[in-house]
């Protein structure tokens, strides 16, 4: 059977369309997967949205997938009934294979009598498949997610829900061009700041736990202006300026461009899961590019088809290396197979386009002719 199970209309219009016959009440959806309830789609009749109380729907049972209009709301002949999904399937999913298909294909191809793995629990295969997707998300099939955020007056934003590590944080100018921000490496955000009395002694609460407060380093960083590119050399005479603290490492000669940027700085609080920005970033729009592990939602648990063979080899090696009675030479064989498949997948996914490479080389040297 073919892999495509929806019409071109369903793919490009994220829904399904019917032409009603006289007094027709039932319209069968063939979407895959089916919407789980009425809140997942909107019904239009002749391009007009209708109230969901005039029809019923169920994703299971004898009427699974049927939109059934109630008595008195039968459709007239020629009525155009359109069902539009609220959160449609993301375009381009044909490039990927789902986690369930990976497990099913592996059980068929590698598990059974006279096969590589005579017997294994499906849950074990599922575990190793998930671990493979995580590892691939970091190195092989790395997909960057991008959030656009306006920096509030607090100069802090939380990490994205599925955040693992950042790739780049940039400020967006009036033309939509990105300007990279760099981490402020000459300061930090303490995980806790201890409350102290006038004599320097530690303060405790009623439970004899240390009192904590907002770190002073954090407050001073947000209050300071790190915009060194617009300062003149006279500001170096201001002994209290943060500008001097930065430029005193060799003065202007040989200064690190990271320290003279006008785009702002940020600090990541790994413990608290917060990203802090310098004061000039207030009300500015930034893009946060980051990577996840592919495990955030069911829809993310998939592998690019270029890496399909690699995920199977990964599972085989993971299963065999976890068995105490597996010979070492057999484990080494599957390790080599895994390495070769992962290398091929990485080359495929690199998407090295000869024309783009030639364009880059022409930009580097005028001697390269067309």
Domain ranges across the chain: 8-85, 94-142+297-361, 145-188+219-227+262-291
Specify whether the CB–CB gap between 149 and 158 falls below 8 A: no
- Of 149-158, 258-267, 315-324, minimum mean pLDDT range: 258-267
What backbone torsions phi and psi does residue 39 show, to the nearest 5 degrees? -75, -10
- At 355 the pLDDT is 84
Can you tell me which residue has the tokens 């003065």?
251
Residue owning tokens 């024309």: 355
- Residue 230's pLDDT is 41
pTM of the predicted protein model: 0.67
Give Cα separations from 270 to 99, 251, 264 (angstroms): 30, 31, 20
Instruction: Give the position of tokens 């998300």.
Output: 137
Tokens linked to 56: 């019923």
Average pLDDT over residues 312-340: 93
pLDDT at 127: 95
Dihedrals φ, ψ of 273, to 5°? Answer: 70, 35
> Residue 149 above 90 pLDDT?
yes
Q: What are phi and psi of 56, to 5 degrees?
A: -115, 160
* CA pair distance 158, 276, nearest whole angstrom: 9
In this structure, what DSSP letter does residue 367 have?
T
Give me the mean pLDDT over the 313-337 stretch.
93
Q: Which of 212, 213, 229 is nearest to 278 (CA)?
A: 229
The residues that bridge with 44 in the sheet, in sequence order, are 49, 82
With contact defined as beta carbons under 8 Å apart, do 69 and 55 qualify? yes
d(CA 315, CA 7) in angstroms, rounded, equals 34
Angle at 140 between CA 92 and CA 100, to 5 degrees: 55
Predicted pLDDT at 228: 45
Phi, psi (degrees; rounded to nearest 5) at 309: -65, -35
| Dihedral over alpha carbons 231, 236, 239, 244 (to 10 degrees) | 70
Mean residue pLDDT of the chain comes to 83
The Cα 82–Cα 137 span in angstroms is: 38
How many other C-beta atoms are found inside a 10 Å radius of the C-beta of residue 91?
Answer: 9
- Indicate if the pLDDT at residue 333 is higher than 50: yes
Q: How many CA atoms lie within 13 A of 282 on its CB side?
A: 10
Instruction: Determine the average pLDDT of the residues in 41-60.
Output: 92
Q: How far is CA 122 from the centre of its chain?
A: 27
| Of 65, 61, 75, residue with least CA distance to 25 | 75
Rounded CA separation 239/245 (Å):
8
- β-pairing, 302-304 vs 66-69, is unpaired
What was the pLDDT predicted at 366? 60
- Which are the contacts of 124, defined by CB distance < 8 A and separation ≥ 6? 319
Q: Are 136 and 310 in contact (CB under 8 A)?
A: yes
CA distance from start to end of the chain: 46
Tell me how far apart the alpha carbons of residues 252 and 255 are, in angstroms, rounded to a whole number. 5
pLDDT band (50, 70, 90) for residue 6: low
Distance of alpha carbon 147 from alpha carbon 169, whole angstroms: 10
State yes or no: pLDDT of 88 exceeds 70: no
Residue 172 token pair: 């967006």
């Amino acid at each position: 059977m073919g892999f495509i199970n929806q019409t071109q209309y369903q793919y490009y219009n994220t829904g399904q369309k019917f032409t009603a016959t006289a007094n027709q009440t039932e319209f069968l959806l063939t979407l895959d997967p089916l919407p789980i309830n009425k809140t997942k789609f909107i019904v239009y009749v002749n391009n007009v949205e209708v109230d969901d109380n005039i029809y019923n729907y169920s994703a299971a049972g004898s009427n699974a997938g049927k939109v059934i209009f109630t008595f008195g709301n039968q459709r007239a002949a020629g009525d155009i009934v359109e069902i539009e999904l609220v959160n449609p399937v993301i375009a381009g999913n044909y490039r990927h294979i789902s986690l369930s298909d990976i497990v099913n294909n592996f059980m068929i191809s590698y598990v059974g009598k006279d096969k590589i793995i005579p017997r294994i629990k499906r849950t074990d295969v599922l575990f190793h498949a998930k671990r493979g997707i995580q590892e691939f998300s970091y190195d092989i099939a790395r997909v960057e997610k991008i959030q656009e955020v306006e920096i509030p007056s607090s100069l802090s934003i939380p990490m994205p829900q599925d955040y693992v590590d950042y790739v780049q944080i940039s400020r967006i100018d009036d033309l939509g061009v990105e300007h990279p921000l760099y981490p402020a490496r000459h300061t930090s955000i303490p995980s806790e700041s201890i409350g102290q009395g006038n004599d320097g002694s530690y303060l405790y609460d009623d439970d004899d736990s240390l009192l904590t407060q907002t770190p002073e380093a954090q407050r001073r960083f947000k209050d300071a202006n790190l915009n060194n590119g617009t300062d003149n050399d006279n500001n170096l005479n201001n002994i209290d300026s943060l500008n001097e603290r930065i430029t005193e490492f060799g003065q202007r000669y040989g200064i690190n461009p990271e320290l003279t940027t006008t785009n702002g700085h940020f600090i990541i609080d790994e413990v608290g899961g917060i990203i802090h920005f310098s004061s000039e970033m207030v009300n500015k729009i930034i893009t946060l590019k980051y990577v996840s592990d592919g495990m955030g939602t069911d829809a993310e648990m998939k592998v690019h088809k270029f890496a399909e063979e690699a995920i199977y080899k990964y599972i085989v090696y993971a299963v065999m290396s976890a068995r105490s009675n597996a010979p070492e030479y057999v484990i080494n064989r599957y390790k080599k197979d895994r390495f070769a498949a992962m290398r091929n997948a990485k080359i495929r996914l690199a998407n090295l386009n000869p024309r783009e490479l030639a364009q880059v080389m022409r930009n580097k040297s005028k001697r390269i002719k067309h």
